[in-house]
Amino acid sequence: MKNQRMTNNMNQEKDIRWRQRFQNFEKAYTVLDKTMKIISPSEIEIMAVIQAFELSFELAWKVMKDYLESEGFDPKSPRETIKHAFQVKLVEDGHVWMDALKDRNLTVHTYDETFAKEMGLKIKNNYYPVIKCLYVKMKEWL
């Protein structure tokens, strides 16, 4: 009986943790969403798009991880988290999420104007839609 109560408390904490992390993800997503409305971004605005993507992506995979843990999974890395999230249909387009992970790792360590412009377009056309889809789905679950 005592072990059951401890297990229930741990599951409740994990459920609360993904909901709390979602609040931070929501804030970052809101900024990313605003940057997506910029029609012809300047160099500085492209940097803002990239930074908003980096933060949104980081919080997105962490909220997925926390949610998966609340469901009994135990992913250890962003890659493993994305794979599990795809398997349980938390996210669609698993390959796009994997590309986003690869590109997020590049954006953190690389800067050049041509690369930034290309990344801005990739974020707008490929990564923002999947992040938005995750946001909408998880928002409905709150």
Whole-angstrom Cα Rg for the chain: 16
The pLDDT tens digits along the chain (142 residues) read 444 444 455 556 767 889 999 999 999 999 999 999 999 999 999 999 999 999 999 999 999 999 999 999 999 999 999 999 999 999 999 999 999 999 999 988 877 889 999 999 999 999 999 999 999 999 998 8
Q: Read off the tokens for 56.
A: 């949104």
What's the whole-model pTM score? 0.89
Please check whether residue 119 is in contact with residue 52, taking contact to mean a CB–CB distance below 8 angstroms.
Answer: no
C-alpha span between 10 and 15 (Å, rounded): 9
Contacts of 13 (CB under 8 A, 6+ apart): none
Q: What is the pLDDT of residue 11?
A: 57
Half-sphere exposure of 119 (CA within 13 A, CB side): 28
